[in-house]
Structure 1
């Protein structure tokens, strides 16, 4: 899932270059444009607010204080979470071979002592599995490669995550043009780190996976195929780690990242526990909002009394085997509906309706009243070839109601729905009201970033529990401009500075509300947010790793 904390964030949000993601669709807004007496605009630079959120149920209260960024890097927080927490995946009590008092749980090999053992128990929960397991994941992206070395214990019915060690190696996508063998050998420094960390007695049963970015396909099918084959051969010839399956080394598609991000979140939230005595909590639906994509993943349930009620066979269906259980998920990535591309779509609609001269100022209801920005209008395919600057102002028309009319056009709800029901833009999606009526909703990325300042402010903070309607409630105030800001949050200098510098809060909050309603959520539906730790957030690597060891018989090398 895309993250506002990726290396491209400052470039995109800082106005130094447009997103290169294609919009991938045409809008049906023209036929209803006469209803909109508004003009619109702008992409401007603003980075995410960071910090721990208070006053609502957050992942910080139920996760270990180690978590992943979108590129899967994990950063330990100062205070380790104790195993006594009822919602933590590791529920077994600490055990020791002697009568010494229990120590703080290790967060790295230096504080761990004997890495073949664990501080959580003295023997595995069930026979036939090792007490401790390691798993290796190498993420080869277009800007470099990173290895993630995960330690788990089997004190409970499912593997419990303890900590992670990682190492990074820089390398641009062009590096893949070199010989496949050279590319494979470049991973030696990362794999040598795994040799240093993983005890020799455990290496043969330690699964290793290498996921290569799909961007390599741009270099040609033969290059991609040869690189994958060379990496696998290097692992087989030099390292004892286990290649658990034929696809242990592969080119990873974006859809798999979304699925494994869902698995990461629900694994850490203990909703997938195989413990029959554990309180069963349905898996969370995970909704992410990145630069160019809006993503939704959930496990729908259908009325067994209706034989025709089932998830349609389509590209949206994903079957996942985890810990001996088969889960059927709905997943879709709405390309062109991420935060940056949605802003651009909004700007184009307003600009096209303004009938202004080249140097005219365009009135934009999605900018807060009394604010202005110069924005770049980019062609619909987001190529950046035909862009121009336009000055847009909130003027006296900036309002949530007018802005909402425009973003409704962006969502293209009038599009033909070939397979019903649909969410928006003609995309099939099971009804959340019918197939996920009581499940919990977890919002990530831009959703979290935009609500964070209003949760942490001491001046009229947003109270728990949070509902979908919070986005509209805040937008109605924010779009009214500085006078309304001062009335509600005037004593919070930090929040006031955020709003004064970034009038796009009006557009963003309005769009997020419309997007959630477009998915079929109602205003009174409770939501939870993904909390960042050390500037990192949930990603896919841990989920992909735990899937290789949970309920799976390991193929060990000798």
Structure 2
């Protein structure tokens, strides 16, 4: 159904766990002890001042985030997710219309489809199932998809989703344990896929940032154990030699872009011309991705994007698209937390000579909410051991002070070989030129961290959010429990979440810094949050599965 540009060999360096930056360097914090820069950073870090990169626009309160009633309806999947319409002679009889199933429970006959009575091609099955396992950094998730072949290419119908924790990377010393951890997910696939179709239902396991950050030997051992386990215990075919593999980060972002825009009906054959694709920003635990199609106007694609691994040529259906994409390994939410804690601990070690006997060292951390504490394990660096400290928000926790730490973390001053750059020395065209007015969809941890703090949408209306909404929420969360009570006193579940997660201040502040300092979106830019569309999870899995079922069908003997 679509083809992609060749895999980038330069991405292989990221699978060795080098984190953000060039292959010749380790994490930036291992080199941070440059005397003069640190001394300047200390003065700058602890001195009161206004934030240099935050917009001076007033930040909205929670009462400002909803538009007038009747505007911005909640986005839903089109009633029939058909990229290619069935021919009149192939359509189900109109005298007995059937409801469109959205799950196995509402699917009267999982061997058939309500969209047609015969496949478009006699060589294709009427319906086809496919199984994708997302082996992420925080857990593993299975997606079981049903497609029909009423048109010249497979059309998606519905999904079954289930997840478990921890992720495969937690089994670094037990590859077989990693493989067996997926059994509970594969039992779900056996439940959903009819027995007669299992040998023709392709299965793939794609690992992301968690395994990329393991050593190459550990990740290879886990993937081999998983592949052997699948072949020996389950009937599903593995479609190719890369069926169980670490996904290239650029593919992860592009597949998420395809998933979202396919479901939002902006890139299908029947999509309205007045609905251009969304930019998709996906924030995982170990990495984050940005993908958008430049708003070219009358310009050619080559005039908008410079050549390089960031340029992704995509053949989808009957259209050729040129996308900008980049995956930042080491800048996912959990990786960012570790980076912030390392910087704070290092700066504290320079300004004080701690002698803590019989108790954990206590360190003031401006990225924790005021009045909260958290035990934090500082990852080991070269020649050092892992250490555990007690981070405390005390009276220093604040959005502005945390932003100063994040200015160091974001590596905004890294060498930019191809200009202009976003952060960490990565080329990105100016969004004012390349994507000045397009819609922006925020996925994964963006959704998970922001939606609990927002009021429930009234009358089915999508919250009107701008990037400045994130900074407004961050200020309220970082200010501590007294402010929480003012804003969320009527929501005890929210208060309990905030109390249990002192790093919520850090998470919100990092998300804002990523968008404004990193990608250089305007603080006033509208954004939308996404988790699922009528039961279908947003993310890279559906896009990758469409690619898998769109190729040659290979059944297991």
- Asked if these proteins are the same fold (TM beyond 0.5), I'd say yes
Residue equivalent to 2:332: 338
Structure 1 59/427 Cα, relative in aligned 2: closer, same or farther at 3 Å? Answer: farther
After alignment, is 318-327 or 113-122 more displaced? 113-122
Deviations 1:486-543 (A, max 9, x none): 3333333333333344333322222211110121211111111123589994343321
Cα deviation for residue 548 of structure 1 reads: 3.8
Residue aligned with 1:456, SS? coil
Taking the TM superposition and a 5 Å limit, the aligned residue runs for 1:121-520 are: 121-122=116-117, 132-139=126-133, 141=135, 149-154=144-149, 159-164=154-159, 197=193, 206=200, 208-211=202-205, 213=207, 215=211, 218-219=216-217, 243=239, 249=243, 251-255=245-249, 256-275=251-270, 278-302=272-296, 305=299, 309-354=303-348, 355-356=351-352, 357-359=354-356, 361-369=362-370, 371-376=371-376, 378-379=378-379, 381=381, 385-395=385-395, 397-456=396-455, 464-517=463-516, 518-520=518-520
Please tell me whether the aligned partners of residues 319 and 328 of structure 1 are also in contact (alpha carbons under 8 angstroms).
yes
CA distance, structure 2, for counterparts of residue 389 and residue 222 of structure 1: 33
Residue equivalent to 1:526: 526
CA distance, structure 2, for counterparts of residue 286 and residue 334 of structure 1: 14
CA distance, structure 2, for counterparts of residue 485 and residue 191 of structure 1: 42
CA distance, structure 2, for counterparts of residue 114 and residue 454 of structure 1: 41
Residue aligned with 1:118, SS? coil
CA distance, structure 2, for counterparts of residue 270 and residue 347 of structure 1: 41
Residue equivalent to 1:74: none
Structure 1 120/304 Cα, relative in aligned 2: closer, same or farther at 3 Å? Answer: same
Cα deviation for residue 322 of structure 1 reads: 2.2
CA distance, structure 2, for counterparts of residue 411 and residue 32 of structure 1: 17
Cα deviation for residue 451 of structure 1 reads: 1.1
Deviations 1:268-325 (A, max 9, x none): 12221112x7344222222122222222122234465579624233232333332233
User: Does 2:128 match 1:120?
Assistant: no
Q: Give the helix-richer structure, 1 or 2.
A: 2
Structure 1 156/389 Cα, relative in aligned 2: closer, same or farther at 3 Å? Answer: same
Residue equivalent to 1:9: none
Residue aligned with 1:452, SS? helix
Structure 1 273/381 Cα, relative in aligned 2: closer, same or farther at 3 Å? Answer: farther
Please tell me whether the aligned partners of residues 88 and 269 of structure 1 are also in contact (alpha carbons under 8 angstroms).
no
CA distance, structure 2, for counterparts of residue 347 and residue 146 of structure 1: 29
Please tell me whether the aligned partners of residues 207 and 548 of structure 1 are also in contact (alpha carbons under 8 angstroms).
no
Please tell me whether the aligned partners of residues 38 and 364 of structure 1 are also in contact (alpha carbons under 8 angstroms).
no
CA distance, structure 2, for counterparts of residue 431 and residue 375 of structure 1: 40
Please tell me whether the aligned partners of residues 458 and 492 of structure 1 are also in contact (alpha carbons under 8 angstroms).
no
Match of 1:30 among 20, 28, 38: 38
Deviations 1:40-97 (A, max 9, x none): xxxxxxxxxxxxxx9689997414xxxxxxxxxxxxxxxxxx827xx99798899643
Please tell me whether the aligned partners of residues 207 and 246 of structure 2 are also in contact (alpha carbons under 8 angstroms).
yes
After alignment, is 464-473 or 540-549 more displaced? 540-549
Residue aligned with 1:547, SS? helix
TM-score by length of 1: 0.70
Cα deviation for residue 211 of structure 1 reads: 3.8
Please tell me whether the aligned partners of residues 89 and 270 of structure 1 are also in contact (alpha carbons under 8 angstroms).
no
Alpha-carbon RMSD: 4.9
Please tell me whether the aligned partners of residues 344 and 365 of structure 2 are also in contact (alpha carbons under 8 angstroms).
yes
CA distance, structure 2, for counterparts of residue 291 and residue 404 of structure 1: 20
CA distance, structure 1, for counterparts of residue 368 and residue 326 of structure 2: 30
Please tell me whether the aligned partners of residues 345 and 380 of structure 1 are also in contact (alpha carbons under 8 angstroms).
no
Residue aligned with 2:98, SS? coil
Structure with more contact order per residue of length (Cα contacts < 8 Å, sep ≥ 6):
1
Please tell me whether the aligned partners of residues 88 and 270 of structure 1 are also in contact (alpha carbons under 8 angstroms).
no
Cα deviation for residue 474 of structure 1 reads: 1.6
CA distance, structure 1, for counterparts of residue 73 and residue 433 of structure 2: 26
Structure 1 90/520 Cα, relative in aligned 2: closer, same or farther at 3 Å? Answer: farther
Structure 1 145/363 Cα, relative in aligned 2: closer, same or farther at 3 Å? Answer: closer
After alignment, is 94-103 or 348-357 more displaced? 94-103
Cα deviation for residue 399 of structure 1 reads: 2.6
Please tell me whether the aligned partners of residues 175 and 225 of structure 2 are also in contact (alpha carbons under 8 angstroms).
yes
User: Does 2:96 match 1:100?
Assistant: yes
TM-score by length of 2: 0.70
